[in-house]
Structure 1
Amino acid sequence: MSDKKIFPKVTFVLSSITRSGGSRVTIEMANRLLEKGFFVRIAVRNKKVSFMEILRKKLKNLWLACSGADYTDWGFQYRGKLISFNNLNEVDIEDGEIVIAVGTKEIKTVQALKKNIIKIRYCHGLAATHAELTEKAWQDPMITLAVSQTLVPELEQYSGQKVNAVVPNGIRTDQYFDMDLKRDGIGMMYSAHYTKSPKEALEVIRRIKEQWTDIPLYIFGVARRPPEIPKEYYWRYPSIEKTRELYSRSKVWLSISRSEGFGLPILEAMACGAAVVCTENHGSREIVENGKNGILVSPGDIEDVVNKIDFLLSNESIRADLVKNSKETVSMFNWDKAVDKMAHVLISLSDKWKSTIAV
């Protein structure tokens, strides 16, 4: 597999590149496929942006850098070719090239391509909102990959066909590891997006501040800090190094999203030695075995979240067992395995396409 020419060309199609987990893992996968010898591009929908908007983003990134925070998106990490498009049919795509729609929004765009190519949709999660858009995107026959096994039944119900492969994400254990710091707080990633349960998150924070007045909170996110979160407990756009520190200072890490396709922050918290309490959804069920390597609660059940925090803070030996078992879980999700699986799937699909053409 050292000959670069044997690898198919691959284009990942994204609606945008942001600070989201989906953008980050797509870039990580693309970079690693590049290292294997694949020709890989990322195509991003071109959105009309004014000069002032560009200037504001540059100034914002400069301010973040000066304040020790990180950039507003993950695009700077990509080492390959990044292209923008208005009409994907106008992009130079070769016969037999593999074009992958990441997420829901660009599936119809890839399906509509009038080219002799291999079209794939890669599910990183099913939205808790926009049910009609979700159903339309996943109902038609198309080669389908899923990031977690727990997504498969619903995807197959939508489309009436088998999911071709499950290709999970990995975790960078060179970036996320236990820093052996004073572990004294409760952590959480906050997002204002509906699927991340912001109202419930703020109520949990209120209850924690009320019940455990001497315990610090370690909260990060990309949203502006809500007034309900004290300034000293919130980090906006933290660097990877700062995020690792926040995980490593947390005794308990909370994830109370309504919806997660994979739940990478859960793995990151585990790798950094925090005991995880999270709501039950596609992503958490893929990673967490309730009572063994973490604790699952029902979405929206704030009382149960608070009770589970109290249980773990009062039972250090049980918390330690969860942490020990979660470290074993982390070892199962590494990028080497993930990219090997993706490479195998892409090469197999390309070989099948070539054999069909030959006939």
Structure 2
Amino acid sequence: MRILQVNSAKTFGGGERHFVDLCQGLVEKGHEVFALINPQSNWIDRLHFLNDRIFKISIKNSLDFPASSKIARLCRAERIKIIHAHIAKDFLPVSLACRMLQDTKFFLTRHVLFPMRSIYRVALSNLTKAIAVSEAVAMELSSTLPQEKIVIVPNGIRVENWLGLSRCSREDFLKLHGISEEAQIISTLGELKELKGQREFVLAAQIVLNEFPNAFFIVVGQDNTPTKSFRRELKRLVNILGIEKNFLFLDWVEDTAELFACTDVFVSPSRSESFGLAILEAMASGMAIVATRTHGAMSLLEDGVSGKLVPIRDALELASAIKSLLANEELRKMLGKNAQEKAKQFSLGKMIDQIEELYRSSIA
């Protein structure tokens, strides 16, 4: 199949990670995959396996109809039969392009829980299928799109990449960043913004350090705001609380397995999470996990069995859960083992197979 994947996001996040994995997985299965991305994208190198099948077209907003014409011309030239859009801004331009083409199937993936505007009910009437990454996202979509057009395909990861993390990797990571080998590491991973709950993570850290002075906290994530103001706010809060010696901020870790290899407790403090790729990666790594009760976390973790779930925006409960795990190595091992077993249900191969079958059935 000749498939165009569309994502005009400038910065790299969970949705873009899914986009890259999907493109690569389809290529590995023998499909001819093309990618349409923003000319100002900072993650084009991640699509290197597509070679010359990457096209840069600016989609300024949902009503960028000139972009629709460019997309339609591209699809005619490359004989593309399936277009798959991944962020809301691209849905309407891609829908219009498919109307121009008439015989091209239109798919979208919805990664977030935010409501879709009512205009989409009519504007996306030519939609073939809307893919929701979780039941919660599917329920949100059903308020705008016909139920029969919605299908749930959970995100997947290459589970094997996180199995069997070595002690050597832990020691190398700690040495690289000047962290004591005696430290108990608590980490969190995600874009730096209010919605991801890093502020509560910092507040919880101060409480934890009162009982566990060897605890060390690692925050990994990029601040994609123009002025990088949220990162500065977090660092200022850390300094005000006097815990800067127990904190490390990293823009990104290219190989998250290295981070998980040194982590004793992984924390997802998000205020909203539709799925939670970082949680899934931590599960596959066998991490003991504390997560807020977002839709995404609750779809992946069972409280007290494969992780600990706490209320959203509650630094006290977050700290209490972290302390209970730092104090009990056997509990950490038990939760981590169960989480790792559960993660095997969310393989990237399974996700690719499900989406491929949706494509095939649409053109049969």
Is TM more than 0.5 here? yes
- In the alignment, is the contact (CA less than 8 A) between 2:95 and 2:106 conserved in 1? yes
1:186 alignment counterpart: 186
User: Following the alignment from structure 1 to structure 2, what is the Cα–Cα distance between the partners of residues 126 and 112?
Assistant: 24
Deviation at 1:30, TM superposition (A): 0.6
Aligned partners of 2:190 and 2:278 also within 8 Å:
no
One-letter code aligned to 2:92: K
- Distance in 2 of aligned mates of 1:341 and 1:264: 18
Q: Any conservation in 2 of the 1:172–1:334 contact (CA below 8 Å)?
A: yes
TM-fit CA distance, 1:148: 2.0
Aligned to 1:147: 133
Gaps of 5+ in 2: 59-66, 171-182, 239-243
- Matched-pair contact (CA < 8 Å) for 1:173–1:271: yes
- CA distance in 2 between counterparts of 1:12 and 1:208 reads 44
1:211, 1:104 → 2: CA distance? Answer: 45
- Larger displacement relative to structure 2 (294-303 or 310-319): 310-319
Match of 1:60 in 2: none
Q: In the TM superposition, what is the alpha-carbon distance from 1:76 to its structure 2 partner?
A: 2.9
**Counterpart in the other structure of 2:106:** 119
Aligned match of 2:32 in 39, 48, 51? 39
Structure 1 residues without counterparts, runs of 5 or longer: 1-6, 50-71, 352-359
Q: Which stretch of structure 1 is more off in the superposition, 336-345 or 195-204?
A: 195-204
Q: Call closer, same or farther: CA 1:39–1:100 in 2, change over 3 Å.
A: same
Q: Which residue of 1 aligns with 2:299?
A: 286
2:59 aligned with 1:89: no
Pairwise mapping of residues 174-253 of structure 1 onto structure 2 (< 5 A)?
A: 174-181=160-167, 184-189=184-189, 191-223=191-223, 225=231, 226-227=234-235, 228-229=237-238, 230=244, 233-240=248-255, 243-253=256-266
Cα 1:184/1:146, change in 2 over 3 Å: same
Structure 2 CA distance for partners of 1:10 and 1:190, relative to 1, 3 Å: closer
CA deviation vs aligned residue, 1:242-301 (integer Å, no higher than 9, x gap): x32221222211001122232111111122221111112232122112221112222112
Provide the C-alpha distance between the structure 1 equivalents of 2:268 and 2:215, rounded to a whole number of angstroms. 18
Indicate the SS of the match to 2:161: coil
Q: How many angstroms apart in 2 are the aligned matches of 1:75 and 1:137?
A: 35
2:275 alignment partner, one of 252, 262, 276:
262
What per-residue deviation string (whole Å, max 9, x for no partner) do you get for residues 8-49 of structure 1?
A: x211111225321111111111111012121111112345x9
TM-score, with normalisation over the residues of structure 2? 0.78
Q: What is residue 179 of structure 2 aligned with on the other side?
A: none
Task: Indicate conservation of the 8 Å contact 1:187/1:219, yes or no.
Answer: yes
In the alignment of these two chains, the number of paired residues is 314
2:19 — aligned with what?
A: 26
For 2:357, which of 344, 349, 353 is the aligned residue? 344
TM-score after normalising by structure 1: 0.79
Shift of 1:173: 3.0
1:25 partner letter: H
Q: State the one-letter code of the partner of 1:320.
A: K
User: What residue identity is the alignment partner of 1:273?
Assistant: G
Evaluate the alpha carbon distance shift between residue 43 and residue 88 of structure 1 in structure 2; reply closer, same or farther with a 3 A threshold: farther
Q: CA deviation at 1:163?
A: 4.4
Gap change, CA 1:139 and 1:12, over 3 Å in 2: same
Give the counterpart of 2:94 among 75, 93, 110.
Answer: 110
Are 1:100 and 1:122, in contact at CA under 8 Å, matched by a contact in 2? Answer: yes
CA 1:190 to 1:348, structure 2 compared with 1: closer, same or farther past 3 Å? closer
Cα distance change of structure 1 residues 273 and 138 upon mapping to structure 2, 3 Å threshold? farther
Cα distance in 2, alignment partners of residues 249 and 137 from structure 1: 47
Corresponding residue SS for 1:105 = helix
In 2, are the aligned partners of 1:31 and 1:78 still within 8 Å (CA)? no
Superposition pairs for residues 40-55 of structure 1, below 5 Å?
40-46=33-39
Comparing 193-202 and 36-45, the one that deviates more: 193-202
Q: Is the CA contact (8 Å cut-off) linking 1:207 and 1:306 kept in structure 2?
A: yes
Match of 2:4, SS state, is: strand
Alignment check: 8 A CA contact 2:207 2:316 kept = no
